[in-house]
């Protein structure tokens, strides 16, 4: 790709990102659920279950901070899923087809949605972090640790986005919404949500051990505590999923192109 | 199926003393209930998630929160036994959406308007819709109890407790089903009924679903759980599993479920009259 081609490519991605954010913030009904759900879970888990933090062998320093790790990964992932909804809605309304006609290299469309999702995520992070701090969350990680933690959130967002975009490009209808949302929701809840991994019992214990979300969650929590452990694993898992799901999303995009 | 409401069926053809061609109420209810049940069976996509999702959350919570049984004062040493009560309420609330959604669909696709032109009573329409819901509630109660027992939950109330559980689930289904009907009748939109889901979720989560109220540390959360009627419904069912026969918990559960049922059905009936006049 020469300079002019590169400029056109990024210009198309920028336009898709801007359009996505414009639509998002001009429609509160679309933006608010993605924000309210994580806050609601934060209140329900950190508030209602704080006594669980006092149980023997629960060795994390602060229950609200422990739950924040989950809420960060959950909110970031759901923000990715919501982009899948937007892609599906665009195709349903005919906008997706027009975007395809307007760009010569269609991966710019995916890049644009991803950039929009990342910018949206910053607002979500600011709000959930602010609310958690107001609720008395203690932060032990330093600046580098926290940057690493938010980076894991961003990677979770990209993973969920690529997964749901792959479905959205294939089905091109909002009716595929549950197919995007449910697997992500289930994967999130099959990780150590309420207690550290060592305290899980029953069937969920082996499931959580092989669930990739567990690595992300444990990594984010350790960074929040200022005692980074399993970070390479977390980033490795995220990179692997992004590589696989990137292929899934791009192949979906090809299918959408072929569908015309 | 609508034809059955108007004229078909034994006894339906005989004009009543008042000179109207209206078929007796039980026949109307039977026809509407049959339609509601068949519709439920024919749409597994509506039924399966409302059955499976509560079981999934039960599995996750039972494994993930078993450590909570080590909190001093926790009423049982099995979190599964503690959590299973919540599953019944969650299923009932999911079914609320189903009942509302079905009626809203009828309004949206014009079936309801055609029904209004028949001599059918509003009460038959509502009772018919709720019949499907009660049947679904009973199926779920039996399934969740069986799954719970197989997975190792205790059911302290024994065989007699099952009948109390079934009765309570029915009253709760009617109560929440009535709320779904109100939303459907007032808005006539399936999307609006679905919009109730987050509110219902809030009612579920800000209750004593995950810990007994006396063990909730945060004052604000304990306060919300105490004023939330859903807490008492969960605690009534939970008492059958943990304590056996706890008169106070059961009286509160049946009382609250009964009040919700009476109020929601009365309001739904009122809304229905208004909708039929439109």
Render pLDDT for B110-123 as a digit per residue (tens, 0 to 9). 888 888 888 878 78
| Closest CA–CA distance from residue A204 to any residue of chain B (Å) | 6
Inter-chain touch A54–B71, beta carbons under 8 Å: yes
| Closest CA–CA distance from residue B77 to any residue of chain A (Å) | 13
Instruction: Please tell me if residue B277 touches chain A, with a CB cutoff of 8 Å.
Output: no
Mean pLDDT throughout B28-46?
Answer: 79
Identify the band that residue B6 occupies on the pLDDT scale cut at 50, 70 and 90. Answer: very low
Q: Is residue B3 part of a domain?
A: no
Question: In this model, does residue B240 exceed pLDDT 90?
Answer: yes
d(CA A190, CA A221): 16
Identify the band that residue B21 occupies on the pLDDT scale cut at 50, 70 and 90. Answer: low
Question: In which domain, by residue range, is A178 found?
Answer: 3-259
Is-contact A238 A161, C-beta < 8 A? no
Lowest mean pLDDT among A210-214, A218-222, A230-234, B34-38: B34-38
Say which residues have a Cβ less than 8 Å from residue B259's Cβ, sequence separation at least 6: none
Question: In which domain, by residue range, is B237 found?
Answer: 47-110+139-277
Identify the band that residue B15 occupies on the pLDDT scale cut at 50, 70 and 90. Answer: very low
Q: Is residue B189 part of a domain?
A: yes
Instruction: Please tell me if residue B201 touches chain A, with a CB cutoff of 8 Å.
Output: yes
Between B268 and A213, the higher pLDDT residue: A213
Q: Is residue B21 part of a domain?
A: no
Q: Is residue B173 part of a domain?
A: yes
The total domain count for chain B is 1
Give a three-class secondary structure readout of chain A. CCHHHHHHHHHHHHHHHHHHHHHHHHCHHHHHHHHHHHHHHHHHHHHHCHHHHHCCCCCCCCHHHHHHHHHHHHHHHHHHHHHHHHHHHHHHCCHHHHHHHHCCCCHHHHHHHHHHHHHHHHHHHHHHHHHHHHCCCCCCCCHHHHHHHHHHHHHHHHHHHHHHHHHHHHHCCHHHHHHHHHHHHHHHHCCCCCCCHHHCCCCHHHHHHHCHHHHHHHHHHHHHCCCCCCHHHHHHHHHHHHHHHHHHHHHHHHHHHHHC
Identify the band that residue A36 occupies on the pLDDT scale cut at 50, 70 and 90. Answer: confident
Inter-chain touch A204–B68, beta carbons under 8 Å: no
Lowest mean pLDDT among B16-25, B37-46, B74-83: B16-25
Identify the band that residue B19 occupies on the pLDDT scale cut at 50, 70 and 90. Answer: very low
Say which residues have a Cβ less than 8 Å from residue B167's Cβ, sequence separation at least 6: B254
d(CA B204, CA B184): 21
Question: Which candidate from A43, A51, A192 shows the least CB-CB separation from B215?
Answer: A51
**Chain B residues 64-83 with a CB less than 8 Å from chain A:** 64-68, 70-71
Q: Is residue B215 part of a domain?
A: yes
- Give the mean pLDDT of chain B: 83
Question: In this model, does residue B80 exceed pLDDT 90?
Answer: yes
pLDDT in tens, B151-204: 999 999 999 999 999 999 999 988 988 888 888 888 887 767 766 776 777 888
Give a three-class secondary structure readout of B38-78. HHHHHCHHHHHHHHHHHHHHHHHHHHHCHHHHHCCCCCCCC
Instruction: Please tell me if residue A199 touches chain B, with a CB cutoff of 8 Å.
Output: yes
Residue B56 burial (10 A CB sphere; 0-12, 13-18, 19+) = middle
Identify the band that residue B46 occupies on the pLDDT scale cut at 50, 70 and 90. Answer: low
């Amino acid at each position: 790709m020469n300079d002019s081609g590169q400029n056109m490519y990024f210009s198309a991605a920028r336009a898709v990102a801007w359009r996505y954010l414009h639509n998002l913030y001009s429609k509160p009904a679309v933006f608010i659920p993605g924000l309210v759900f994580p806050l609601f879970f934060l209140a329900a888990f950190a508030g209602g279950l704080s006594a669980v933090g006092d149980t023997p062998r629960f060795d994390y320093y602060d229950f609200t901070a422990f739950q924040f790790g989950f809420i960060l990964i959950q909110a970031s992932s759901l923000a990715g899923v919501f982009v899948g909804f937007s892609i599906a809605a665009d195709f349903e309304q005919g906008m997706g087809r027009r975007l395809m006609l307007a760009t010569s290299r269609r991966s710019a469309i995916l890049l644009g949605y991803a950039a929009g999702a990342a910018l949206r995520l910053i607002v979500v992070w600011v709000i959930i972090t602010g609310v958690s701090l107001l609720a008395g969350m203690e932060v032990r990680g330093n600046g580098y640790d926290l940057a690493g933690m938010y980076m894991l959130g961003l990677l979770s967002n990209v993973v969920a986005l690529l997964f749901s975009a792959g479905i959205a490009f294939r089905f091109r209808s909002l009716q595929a919404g549950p197919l995007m949302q449910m697997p992500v929701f289930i994967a999130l809840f099959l990780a150590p949500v309420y207690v550290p991994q060592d305290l899980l019992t029953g069937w969920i214990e082996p499931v959580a051990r092989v669930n990739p979300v567990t690595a992300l969650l444990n990594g984010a929590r350790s960074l929040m505590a200022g005692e980074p452990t399993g970070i390479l694993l977390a980033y490795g898992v995220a990179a692997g999923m992004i590589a696989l799901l990137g292929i899934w999303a791009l192949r979906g995009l090809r299918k959408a192109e072929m569908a015309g | 199926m609508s034809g059955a409401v108007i004229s078909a069926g034994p006894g339906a053809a005989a004009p009543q003393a008042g000179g109207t061609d209206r078929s007796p109420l039980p026949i109307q209810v039977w026809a509407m209930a049959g339609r509601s049940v068949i519709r439920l069976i024919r749409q597994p996509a509506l039924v399966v998630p409302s059955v499976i999702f509560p079981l999934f959350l039960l599995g996750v919570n039972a494994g993930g929160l078993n450590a909570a049984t080590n909190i001093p004062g926790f009423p049982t040493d099995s979190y599964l036994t503690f959590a299973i009560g919540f599953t019944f309420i969650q299923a009932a609330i999911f079914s609320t959406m189903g009942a509302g959604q079905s009626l809203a669909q009828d309004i949206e696709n014009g079936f309801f308007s055609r029904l209004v032109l028949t001599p059918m009573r509003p009460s038959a329409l509502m009772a018919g819709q709720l019949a499907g819901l009660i049947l679904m509630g009973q199926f779920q109660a039996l399934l969740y109890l069986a799954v719970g027992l197989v997975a190792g939950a205790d059911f302290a109330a024994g065989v007699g407790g099952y009948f109390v559980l079934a009765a309570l689930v029915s009253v709760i289904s009617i109560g929440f089903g009535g709320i779904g009907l109100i939303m459907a009748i007032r808005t006539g939109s399936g999307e609006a009924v679905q919009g109730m889901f987050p509110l219902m979720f809030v009612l579920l989560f800000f209750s004593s679903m995950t810990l007994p109220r006396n063990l909730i540390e945060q004052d604000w959360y304990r306060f919300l759980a105490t004023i939330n009627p859903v807490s008492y419904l969960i605690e009534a069912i939970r008492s059958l599993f943990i304590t056996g026969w706890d008169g106070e918990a059961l009286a509160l559960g049946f009382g609250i479920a009964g009040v919700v049922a009476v109020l929601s059905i009365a309001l739904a009936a009122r809304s229905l009259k208004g909708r039929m006049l439109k």
